[in-house]
A and B are shown apart, each in its own frame.
Chain A
């Protein structure tokens, strides 16, 4: 591996990320999958970085799941997205930050389509106007929430309580980064580092002391794939995808996986359990699984947030091995203690405090 070559590519793929006044839109599914993540993002942005982040209660699903499952027609999707833009415009924001990778990909795709086919944009504006009476401005800056954390990775590192370093050995933790397919595969220029060698998560990990693993199946889908998972009979394909990834990363002995997509941590996490149930196979060291984190969770851990407040007890593959390696100060007995959880999140569970 020639690092200079990678750096050259990373330099080629840099994007503009707004530095304040974000209009944040949540993911449909993340709050169920890893409920602490979005809350942690808001806390980091507002409390640690002192940035303005706005959320709107009328924001809806972008219909990306329906769109990618061939259920919702593209024009409908575009009109729904136009409404999101209209609400943002009404709120006086222009820096759109979706929490969901698919939303990010969809917004990017729609903006690009409108750029190349202005008549479509015109038609959608008309449809939105007819349906809701709303008008909109296109976002001035579109960045995924992980782009924003990437932008402030150094600031976070400066405030960090822990480093992604094995406390006992002093070695950096070996981290697998998994990027959601819709982040840059469709529009490589819209992702930090492009599609082949994405840097958005790698940049965070490097900054926070870890070491990124480049394994052969890094490009492979986590297995969510929408249609593959939604129909039960197809789930065999979904899990086969994840398995292929695990088998490919296993020889590198990763300590953890970091992701930036709603579906990926879900599937990489839960399928490890299912594979173990089906085949009795685990891919981590000492007969354990490989803990899977969202980038917000990792940022929260680095900043010294309580693991249980971050929602790590919601992971099916236990996170404790990583916590122990980093040397996080946590109380194992409080893992399922419901009482401590609201103390962290009640403020940020509300919109626009």
Chain B
């Protein structure tokens, strides 16, 4: 037998998806900026390609990251992806070795059992058949988990599972049908011919014992083919588009392409690469503390793919970056969210299937219309010259203890500094950026930049991680920008300040913009280790919690903020530390409102430990009297 009409649905689907993916790849490549194109070209002939292959194997097939965070969920994804891959891989080899000729059309491998019903009775053939049954059983076990997850997500250790739209449902159904229909089709065929291994053979024999196996097999081959064909055709308009897209994403990422601040190919590839696995939903504090369950990144990606109005989703996010860290696909979720914030509200198109395949791409997000200069009232600044600038930041002015501690430390260190916003400064601009108002933010950035430049300083120290992040990322400065924890670490290393060791148990809360946002994890903990007994918590470094006070969330109510803060503080103070330390005025203020534990900024702890006037042992001057000794 060489051909049977039932393979037509499969063939249509297969060739459609191959053509679609190729066409789409070409379009995506075409839309890349020139530097990114070069990066991709260079990547193709270099190490990135090898790295990508490895990553594709590890992440797209094995799903290493998901396995690490959630074994059962990882197994589910692995069994489906890797299992299917194995099935195709060994199926193709099977068809090549045992088939009538070499180099077969794909359908010959997929429907091998149909075309070779007598195959696999003895010897090596039987062993190979055993392998194929094993792989199928592997997939089916994962499928079983997937089905259960859909109806009861906790089985796979997930608190929430993603909600589906109609095309996703059809695609999902066809996906679910593929493997059971293959099992049944093969089993009936095997039953009729007395072939097959432990799975198909046994099941087939049993079914054949009371059913006309030969007649029933044929419809199941049709079903198998239709399921495959349907799945392939729906792939581009369902979330399963992530399967081919992710390969593209991995390659782009390894070639060094970044999201940037405008929508483009890379952000689009990323949104398509989201498999809606839901790990971001579980990571999200808005979900598990505040009960806000419709704004998480998976939903945002889906809404962008669907061209839905995302305005309600994008602004309701703390931008803590926990989901970025957890995303198994490595999608830069926060930058994509920022792109949407900048874009304002998208027009809601009339949705149809056609749009699903050939929709207007995300490149054309309408720019917000911004009125002319808003901050013309700002007087030109004339700062004092200084080596080091201290910029407390708006929020720090609401936590005078931090400000005063920093002054104490700066004075003790003996550096020549200028407290640049002592009388209240101009906002750093990040809050505006977080609201998607980059142009306004740029006005403030220019103002502050000018001030910093005029001061002639070489170092800029700030107490606020929000300011720190924007100084680092969006200011064009020729000064070294340091968060005060980094600065204190430097002072300690240089020996400019001396400290007592405080016999206090301290737990450190890493602020989002400092830790995940700017990658400053070590200095704060090193400083704390230097002056106190720093204890471990369950939420450290990348896994830190958000205090809930984040300026990034425009929508959340104060009650929900409080709930997030309370949950986070409860977790962090589980072991009754003396101090809940943080490195951000906003975190401090937020936590202080919800916990009995003393909340202090690292600068406060350092200032407390500071030996303000160290007795200079080797200095020429020495005390003339006991009273004088007491005074120095």
Q: Do chains A and B touch in the complex (CB under 8 A)?
A: no
Q: Which residues of A contact B (CB under 8 A)?
A: none
Q: Which residues of B contact A (CB under 8 A)?
A: none
